[in-house]
Amino acid sequence: MFSIEHEFDATVITLVDEGSAPLQEDVIINSFAECVTVEQFDPRTEQMQKITLSPEQLRDLAAALDLPEGVYQLRDAASEGGT
């Protein structure tokens, strides 16, 4: 299950683990114009853990989910002289 909320400066997506036990903590994704943050509560340390991705890193992650093992570099069509 997941929810999507549009706030003033970000879109917030919350992913809820509905699989079989043991369940993981909710994952909260904040999408800003300049970056995307991914947060998850760590019950061992009782702290929220956060990573920040640039738009380019997020693009690469999305592409990597559908590719086989290997090393890749995405390029914009405009930077290759395409239209």
Question: What's the pLDDT tens digit per position in 21-72?
Answer: 889 999 999 999 999 999 999 999 999 999 999 999 999 998 898 888 889 8
**Residue 74 domain-assigned (yes or no):** no
**Residue 40 domain-assigned (yes or no):** yes
Q: How far is CA 78 from CA 2, 42, 59, in A?
A: 35, 42, 16
**Residue 73 domain-assigned (yes or no):** no
The total number of structural domains that make up the chain: 1
**Residue 58 domain-assigned (yes or no):** yes
**Residue 48 domain-assigned (yes or no):** yes
**Residue 83 domain-assigned (yes or no):** no
**Residue 51 domain-assigned (yes or no):** yes
The residue range of the domain holding 40 is 2-68
- Model pTM score: 0.79
**Residue 21 domain-assigned (yes or no):** yes
